[in-house]
Amino acid sequence: MQQREIVVSGIRPTGFLHLGNYFGAIRQYLHMQESYECYFFVADYHALTTHQDPKLLRTQVYRVLAEYLACGLDPEKATIYVQSDLPEKAELYLLLNMLAYKGELEKVPTFKEKIRGRHESINAGLLTYPVLMAADILIHRAIKVPVGKDQEPHLEMARNLASRFNQKFGFLFPEPMAFSETGELLKVPSLDGKGKMSKSENEMATIYLADSDELIRKKIARAKTDAGPSTPHSPKSPEIENLFLLLKLVSSPETVAHFEEAYDRCTIRYGELKQQLANDMIRLVAPIRQRAADLQNDVEYLKKIRKVGAEKARDSAQTTLQRARELMGIAYD
Ligand code: TYM
């Protein structure tokens, strides 16, 4: 039998999941679990780099697990686990740290962004964040990593570390690529036209998978628009471009075509567009919200998923780690 390609991806338990996480990552997980060997996890070690409240972590971890399942991830098809249940990753992270240079880590755009304007001390975990992420991916020898656009620099770092390891110690790691089924990594914009949807910032401009129908309507109603097109086929302002981008994600091609045409003919009513957008978002989010809430009440079930997932993930992790140790000379028997 031909071996299936290996896929890895994860999400940090740092807040409620949103449509950026859904369209940038989870929707692809759903397709990929059908035909690849998939490992999807909750990145709790990564969450610690920004000092999460220890009292909240457990709830946040189980919530991401519940939301994964509510979106349609299937533990029979994919291996679903929690990062810290696989300490092999921590050891591979330590080994890979020997190959990562301080200068290149300081240049990673996400690191620069995270430390901008911060005056308290910057911890080494934040600096070596991409090394831990490389360990997540390389421990399963994955080649495809479904992520949103913001993760691209981390994938570049993972490739550098893989090829450096291979050159120095012998081939072990295939070089992983950031993956999007459309061929283009996605950035789901926030509703205020400033940046992207995010777990922790800009709550009124982000649609969360746990938002109520009313809240979704309210957030969409508040989204910024402009005065409307005054000449046929005029270019769209960034705010309107964003609304159309969201419409393309949640609505049917016919609906999108209808509003594109109305825009081009200057007959568009933004109120109608927003109402349609809100309806279609609710159609997607409401069942996920309901299922996630039910699953969160069943912690015993989630615990079982966590344990079974970690056991499955450990097989592949232990084999890779053992090989990495041998190649680096950590073999004294
Ligand atoms: P995190 O938790 O910030 O986000 C999880 C996933 O959601 C995507 N995403 C978006 N995509 C499009 N538009 C947006 N507005 C948007 N916001 C978030 C992210 O690109 C990501 O795919 N470092 C990772 C977690 C991680 C990981 C890994 C991912 C740890 N180890 C190994 C892949 C492989 C992160 O912080 O994702």
CB pairs under 8 A, 24+ apart, for 162-166? 162/134, 162/138, 164/99, 165/96, 165/99, 165/138, 165/324, 165/327
Pairwise CA distance, residues 274 & 114, whole Å: 33
Tell the residue nearest (CA) to atom 26 of ligand 1.
10
Task: Quote the pTM value.
Answer: 0.96
Residue 322 vs residues 2, 4, 89, 312, 315: alpha-carbon distances, Å: 24, 22, 12, 16, 11
The continuous run of DSSP H or E covering 138 comes out as: helix 129-138
Instruction: Please pick, among 114, 149, 224, 248, the residue that the annotation labels catalytic.
Output: 114
Contact 207, 22 (CB under 8 A): no
Domains in the chain, ordered, with CATH?
6-188+298-328 (3.40.50.620), 211-293 (1.10.240.10)
Tell the residue nearest (CA) to atom 19 of ligand 1.
148
Which tokens is 100 given?
């990562």
Say how many Å lie between the CA of residue 41 and the centre of ligand 1.
Answer: 11
Tell the residue nearest (CA) to atom 1 of ligand 1.
11
Pairwise CA distance, residues 252 & 67, whole Å: 24
Q: What's at 176, amino acid-wise?
A: P
Known catalytic residue: 312? no
Closest of 175, 172, 174, 135 to residue 323, by C-alpha: 172
Give residues with Cβ within 8 angstroms of 312, minimum separation 6: 79, 81
Known catalytic residue: 114? yes
Pairwise CA distance, residues 267 & 229, whole Å: 8
Pairwise CA distance, residues 172 & 174, whole Å: 7
Pairwise CA distance, residues 99 & 80, whole Å: 29
Question: Could you tell which of 17, 21, 161 is best to mutate to test the pocket of ligand 1, judged by most ligand atoms within 8 Å of the CB?
Answer: 21
The continuous run of DSSP H or E covering 35 comes out as: none
* Digit-coded pLDDT (tens) for 158-197: 999 999 999 999 999 999 999 999 999 999 999 987 889 9
Instruction: Please pick, among 89, 196, 219, 274, the residue that the annotation labels catalytic.
Output: 196
Which protein residues are within 6 Å of ligand 1, measured from CB? Answer: 8-12, 20-21, 24-25, 43, 46, 133, 136-137, 145, 147-148, 150-151, 154, 186-188, 196-197
Give residues with Cβ within 8 angstroms of 190, minimum separation 6: 196, 197, 198, 202, 205, 206, 242
Tell the residue nearest (CA) to atom 37 of ligand 1.
11
pLDDT tens for the chain, residues 1 to 333: 568 999 999 999 999 999 999 999 999 999 999 999 999 999 999 999 987 899 999 999 999 999 999 999 999 999 999 999 999 999 999 999 999 999 999 999 989 988 887 767 789 999 999 999 999 999 999 999 999 999 999 999 999 999 999 999 999 999 999 999 999 999 999 998 788 998 877 899 999 999 999 999 999 999 999 999 999 999 999 999 999 999 999 999 999 999 999 999 999 999 999 999 999 999 999 999 999 999 999 999 999 999 999 999 999 999 999 999 999 999 998
